[in-house]
Structure 1
Amino acid sequence: MKQRPLYIFLICLIIVSSLYSRAADSTKNYLQWTQLPAIPDTVGFAGSFAGVSNGALLVAGGSNFGAGGTPWNGAAKTWYDKIFALEQPNGQWKEVGKLPHPLAYGVSVTFQDGVIVAGGSDATKHYNEVLLLRYKNGAIGTEKLPGLPTPIANACGLVIGSRLYIAGGTVTPTATQAATNFWVLDLGVPAAQRAWKTETPWPGPGRMMAVAATQEGAFYLLSGITLNKQADDSTVHRTFLKDAYKYLPGKGWTRIAELPQSVAAAPSPAFTTGQTHLLVFGGDNGKYFDQNAILQQKHPGFANEVWMYNSITDTWSTIGHVFTDHRADSQSNPLNSTWAPVTTTAVVWNGNLVLPGGEVRPGTRTNRVLMATPIQPPGGFRIFDWTIVGIYFLLVIGISVVVSRNMQRTTSGFFLGGGKIPWWAAGLSIFGSKLSALTFIAIPAKAYATDWVYLLNNVMIVVVAPIVVYFYLPYFRKLKLTSVYEYLNIRFNRQVKWLGSLTFVLFQVSRLGIVIYLPALVLSAVTGINIFICIIGTSLITTAYSVSGGIEAVVWTEVMQVGVLLGGALATLFFIAGSLHGGFGQLFTEAMDHHKFRLAIPDWTITEPVLWVVFVGGFLTQLVTYSSDQVVVQRYLTTSTENEAKKSIYTNAILVIPASLIFFSVGTALWVYYRHHPAALNPHGRTDDVFPWYISNQLPTGLAGLVIAGLFAATMSTISSSMNSIATVITTDFYQSAKPASTDRQRFVFARRVTVLLGALGCLIAVYMVYLRNASIWDQYIKIIGLFGGCLAGMFVAGIFFPRINSKGIFIGFVVSAICLYFIQAANIINFFLYPAAAVLVCVLVAYVASILLPPKNK
């Protein structure tokens, strides 16, 4: 195939596209602000308790200075006990009950079907009582929970799982210092066993009016105010804090990046969005605190920035502002304007953030209820990008059409390409099948979120390749197999072959869902199209391509795509480095300083991806793929000779090293880039979105289109290859066994119909994966390989290396191995990298023992 014009076109495209850089869009709107019906009080409340019970928004208690009253004119602060409910966003508030007594400035959190009210104060004292409010049938029910260890007010807290955490506060209205209390109550145990436990406090000053937050099971303590009083001074001084801390159960506290300014008394808890972001709304930065008595009614209001924290890059940035609307009479009639509130509870209601009431200036309350709805911003794809995508897909389709015209309309032509694929093309095709969206998206995302510990898993193919060449390949070639599982029939019996074939089909169908889901994720992130539409569209196009093509069309398409994909990734790496002031030097220095290039964890634990775990797990994961996976084995069976097949395996193994280095480097470069441009990240995105998001919003126009087009073309070829392999196994190992008298034409037609069914099934699995919302899709893929592929690889290890193992033994070994692996995963006693090791070991040992105990009747 003459591809020189294509490569010239690609080079010219990159040069031209570099002239049209895409600047970071700092004007993206991530939140849409609206107002709910106002709380039925002419003044409004500060310090109210709020949450959601049985679908209704509740607001309880609070305090104010009465209509027209302020601290400056001598008005007394009044506490309230009323409870209001709003059942629908467009409904009306109604009074539904009362607290046991007037109360405000405590901690309130939504838990299951109720709202927890903990601590708080009134005009004379602080309280330690904890209540659970439930709204049902228009009325409030109250349940008492264990009281706090001491009375507390102005604290912060939230629920993580079934554990209620409360931190900081003050113990009396006249306290001269803020508390360092850090308490936890497990609500998941029976009521009689519930008791507050005092945990180690954070390594910083005591504080009140801090903001609590949670992300990935961790508790965050942000900002606040500390109190201090000198021995010779009767005044209690307030210091507005900017420090922040993270608490991980079992591991303790760590200090995180300091906030750019104090956010004391900001609505708490912070809003958790996406998989790595926290949003803090406004707060008191202390700028005007010493001037409150002077400013009085001229106070401009509290800060209204929306601060965003990224837990991976450990950075803060602003992504917008709390909605405000200051009218001309805002000073004389503040209730006529909309302000950013403080001392109010942040409530998540139907996926939206609600800020009910609060204090908007010193002494001034509001009855307004603000609601922020997360918005997924559209991607940055432009017409030129779409043009490149269209041209590239036309080229891919053209290749497949030309090749398919010469394809033999037989099962041999459809499954093996007539055995006429050159070794270098087969090797590139093997490499291309593994260089799908899993490589292009998941590896950079993993390196961005963590480090290079997983690199060893990839490069273990260099160790596995000689084993496959010298021990497995001779059997597969000499037996002239179409389905690799025919070997199990020859070595053992037909029942064992069916068991192996069925296992492969289950494994590949699971993988099929992943490789459909990931490119749909890319297209959704890049273009803003709904992910379900992307999944259905990708499935339809790929299914049609798979049915009309064949393995030969897939191979030649992937040969072209490998170069484009690697070139696109490499170009992206250079572009990221070029956008940094210090170039590659800055990239490597910062990454090294933050241990982003860590290659191994030197430990002997069995539950974490330490060095020996990744080494053993990576070796067996690669062995599973290259010895018992029909997708890969079928590729090196398309060559004409065994020697050609060897070259194809080694070609793939050699290419894995530079490719892995490129993609891990891209992930690390993304971390450095977004560490300096945190506002450029999508706060609502997933970790796996990071590379597609960068492609869409930062790469030059045209180059972004080329990278995405190449990714989709390669991914769709990977999907079609999986479909072809599954159809091969089903047709050869099941259909042909059930209908031995069927003609080759009938089997060919059957294989194409199976391919259509597989496209529909893969689409359904991909839709299901959208709801899983896993932090790393690569982790899930490795788990699937271990669960389905490990037991299967054990059968081939037993068959090739242990002649004494018989058909009864291997059948028993496989079943016992699968059962053991299920319970191992459920108990989570080993790292998922070791699933293949456990599967192979148990399978072989049990099969060997069973073969001794159950010898064949005829030797």
Structure 2
Amino acid sequence: MDNKENTAASFSTWDYVVFALMLVISAAIGVYYAFAQRRQQTTRDFLVAGQSMTAVPIALSLTASFMSAITVLATPVEVYCNGAMFILSCLGFILMVAISSEVFLPIFYRLGITSTYEYLELRFNKVVRLCGTMLFIIQTLVYTGVVIYAPALALNQVTGISLWGALISTGVVCTFYCTLAVVWTDVFQVIMMLAGFLAVIVQSVLIQGGVSVIFNDSADGGRLNMWDFDPSPLRRHTFWTILIGTTFIWTSMYGINQAQVQRYVSCKTLLHAKMSLYINLLSLWAILLSSGFCGLCLYSFYKNCDPWTAKMVSAQDQLMPYLVLDILGDYPGIPGLFVAAAYSGTLSTVSSSVNALAAVTVADLIGPYFSLSEQQLSWASKGLSVFYGIACIGLAGLASLMGGLLQTTISVLGALGGPLLGLFSLGILFPSANSNGGLAGLVSGLIMSLWVCIGAQIYKPLAENVRPLPLQTHGCNMTTAENDILNWTSYPTQGSYATSAEQHKAVDRPLLADYWYSLSYMYFCPVGTLVCIVIGQTVSLFSGGRRLKLEPGLTLIKEDLTCYKIYKILKQKATRNSNRLDMITEKEKSGRTNLAFCDVELDITKIQAHRTA
């Protein structure tokens, strides 16, 4: 859009009505199921739905758990600023689903545990379990704070209320929602997210004159940069960093994260649990592709006038709400639908995370040390949900200091989740791993991943590793000389970098800054995972791991693999067919004693003469 002026569009009455209606429906679903299941008094029923769920609602709930406002707001901005390469995450999702369903899911479902960290005590010891639990709590609190911050940005943009006011109101709504049922409401919220994307996509295509126009604009601006096979691990985004990084990061979320495992074990059969993951893959693709195309729409609209550079928004992650007000402001209720979509993602994610925090705290930190009844544990779970919700509001304020939403989220999840993924992988895949190796691996992986993550925050990567795409302002109708000369060519909130001049000026810049600290943020998780496995297995082998005797069911066995089950079925069918053929052959051989089946031609005259004699 050329000659874009800084208009102060905001919510209308109908937008508030639609937004409020979404909150009311979400709460009503939760209240209904809370009363419908009020006789379930055990903490297990509250946390895993009594193992009565089927594949489809669990699949949509899995999607909603980590498809938050970050997806709704930050993924389009990533595509807008750095191109569509991030959409290649779809390939990583395939590997993630295969690994999660084949390696981790069978173990947790077979053991029937409420907290994934119970496994660490069964496999290693109580110290390893407590360390894993504390790391999970820290990771989830920080992540949830970022998730609460995301829709507060949107609310701040469209309503004009202060950011802290938006943060507190968002946190209060999320905290109330966390005490309600969290599976069927997630189904409604996934639909809301898709509806919000669809509204933006349809209107953008209509205004711009077709999908081809949007793709042509994106191609001219270099936004269709999908296939970069540069193997350098220092490049921010390439085919390899996206594929490898996404596989590790999302496996750490779907394979071992308490919020997701809680959903697996709520399925009534292992088959339903596995099917939920594969159905979830389709909804993940739908949401990621929708958000990616919204980013292309965003660029097509503002290719000549970047609203952030022109000071029309206070943060780049407010670009999507700005676009919605720009193109849908004349349709009462539609901007409210989009903000409701962002809130839907946040409600589902925060509720899942806080519910998981409560589950882990009860199972790992309260249950083993205090003699409480099931009723008391159930109330403790709900009380902890409120406590953690309040804590996340405070951390949401800190999230505003951490830069862009997408890179911040992946960095936090990767640095803290990578060592945990390595620890669980060590226990499940390596029978010789012992408690000494598990603890050493976890600590080593955490040190390495935090080292590179913190270093990357302090020392900006070089421009040649980030390779930002240009954003223009020459089409803006600016009144100040300062804005007239702006032609922004960097991405400071999500992909900040150091120019060559800045590098030479910084005489105290260490050598590691241009190599180790410049590692792509997508590799923070693989670093923590691989270091944990290598160190953990090495220490285990040197501390008696070969003599370790494990209880059955704690490690992966070939019978857990779907491919092995298919092989066994095919082999049984082949064996049955072979046995059938053998039986037929035996019958044919035995039938040869009957003269009627004899191949020798009989001389009837001789037989009759013999009988006469």
Task: Quickly name the TM-score band, shorter chain normalised.
Answer: 0.7 to 0.9
Task: Choose the corresponding residue for 1:840, options 512, 529, 535.
Answer: 529
Q: Corresponding residue for 1:675?
A: 303
The alpha-carbon deviation at position 616 of structure 1 amounts to: 1.5
- For 1:662 and 1:397, the matched residues in 2 are separated by 26
Aligned residues of 2:178 and 2:355 also touching (Cα < 8 A): yes
Q: Corresponding residue for 1:385?
A: 15
One-letter amino acid matched to 2:367? Q
Q: Corresponding residue for 1:618?
A: 246
The alpha-carbon deviation at position 707 of structure 1 amounts to: 2.2
The alpha-carbon deviation at position 823 of structure 1 amounts to: 2.4
- For 1:760 and 1:395, the matched residues in 2 are separated by 23
Matched, 1:686 2:318: no
Matches within 5 A, 1:156-305: none
Q: Corresponding residue for 1:585?
A: 212
Matched, 1:801 2:429: yes
Task: Choose the corresponding residue for 1:663, options 276, 291, 304.
Answer: 291
Q: Corresponding residue for 1:416?
A: 48
Superposed CA offset, 1:214-243 (max 9, x none):
xxxxxxxxxxxxxxxxxxxxxxxxxxxxxx
Aligned residues of 2:313 and 2:322 also touching (Cα < 8 A): no
The alpha-carbon deviation at position 679 of structure 1 amounts to: 7.0
The alpha-carbon deviation at position 432 of structure 1 amounts to: 1.4
Q: Summarize the Cα distance change of 1:586–1:420 in structure 2 as closer, same or farther, 3 Å threshold.
A: same
Matched, 1:767 2:397: yes
- For 1:561 and 1:385, the matched residues in 2 are separated by 17
SS of equivalent to 1:590: helix
Structure 1 residue ranges (4+ consecutive) displaced by more than 3 angstroms after TM superposition: 315-320, 676-682, 856-859
Matched, 1:646 2:271: no
Aligned residues of 1:636 and 1:645 also touching (Cα < 8 A): yes
Q: Which structure exhibits the higher relative contact order, with contacts defined as CA atoms closer than 8 Å and separated by 6 or more residues?
A: 2
Matches within 5 A, 1:27-176: none
Task: Choose the corresponding residue for 1:529, options 147, 161, 166.
Answer: 161
Q: Summarize the Cα distance change of 1:381–1:794 in structure 2 as closer, same or farther, 3 Å threshold.
A: same
Task: Choose the corresponding residue for 1:731, options 331, 356, 362.
Answer: 362
- For 1:432 and 1:858, the matched residues in 2 are separated by 40
- For 1:749 and 1:318, the matched residues in 2 are separated by 54
Aligned residues of 1:821 and 1:835 also touching (Cα < 8 A): yes
Q: Summarize the Cα distance change of 1:714–1:777 in structure 2 as closer, same or farther, 3 Å threshold.
A: closer
One-letter amino acid matched to 2:520? N
Task: Choose the corresponding residue for 1:460, options 67, 76, 92.
Answer: 92
- For 1:765 and 1:806, the matched residues in 2 are separated by 35
Superposed CA offset, 1:662-718 (max 9, x none):
110001111111125657975342111110111233212211112222331332122
Superposed CA offset, 1:557-580 (max 9, x none):
111121222122022111011111
Aligned residues of 1:520 and 1:531 also touching (Cα < 8 A): yes
SS of equivalent to 2:544: coil
Q: Corresponding residue for 1:635?
A: 263
The alpha-carbon deviation at position 319 of structure 1 amounts to: 4.8
Matches within 5 A, 1:455-534: 455-534=87-166
Matched, 1:719 2:347: no
Q: Corresponding residue for 1:37?
A: none
The alpha-carbon deviation at position 415 of structure 1 amounts to: 0.6
- For 1:488 and 1:727, the matched residues in 2 are separated by 18
Matched, 1:595 2:222: yes
Task: Choose the corresponding residue for 2:446, options 818, 821, 830.
Answer: 818
- For 1:715 and 1:798, the matched residues in 2 are separated by 32
The alpha-carbon deviation at position 635 of structure 1 amounts to: 1.4
Aligned residues of 1:378 and 1:527 also touching (Cα < 8 A): no
- For 1:843 and 1:810, the matched residues in 2 are separated by 8
Write 1 or 2 for the structure with the bigger share of helix: 2
Matched, 1:450 2:79: no
- For 1:702 and 1:512, the matched residues in 2 are separated by 28
The alpha-carbon deviation at position 390 of structure 1 amounts to: 2.3
The alpha-carbon deviation at position 404 of structure 1 amounts to: 0.7
The alpha-carbon deviation at position 733 of structure 1 amounts to: 0.9
Task: Choose the corresponding residue for 2:32, options 384, 402, 423.
Answer: 402
Q: Summarize the Cα distance change of 1:590–1:318 in structure 2 as closer, same or farther, 3 Å threshold.
A: closer
Q: Summarize the Cα distance change of 1:684–1:439 in structure 2 as closer, same or farther, 3 Å threshold.
A: closer
Superposed CA offset, 1:722-771 (max 9, x none):
110000001101111222x2211221122222212211211111112223
Structure with max Cα Rg: 1
- For 1:542 and 1:821, the matched residues in 2 are separated by 30
Q: Summarize the Cα distance change of 1:615–1:392 in structure 2 as closer, same or farther, 3 Å threshold.
A: closer
- For 2:335 and 2:102, the matched residues in 1 are separated by 42
Q: Corresponding residue for 1:703?
A: 334
The alpha-carbon deviation at position 794 of structure 1 amounts to: 0.2
Matches within 5 A, 1:752-763: 752-763=382-393
What is the total number of aligned residue pairs between the two structures?
481
Q: Is there any run of 5+ residues in structure 1 with no aligned partner, and where? A: 1-314, 321-376
Aligned residues of 1:483 and 1:630 also touching (Cα < 8 A): yes
Matched, 1:544 2:176: yes
Q: Summarize the Cα distance change of 1:494–1:697 in structure 2 as closer, same or farther, 3 Å threshold.
A: same
Identity of aligned residues (%): 27
- For 2:288 and 2:300, the matched residues in 1 are separated by 19
Aligned residues of 2:410 and 2:522 also touching (Cα < 8 A): yes
The alpha-carbon deviation at position 527 of structure 1 amounts to: 0.7
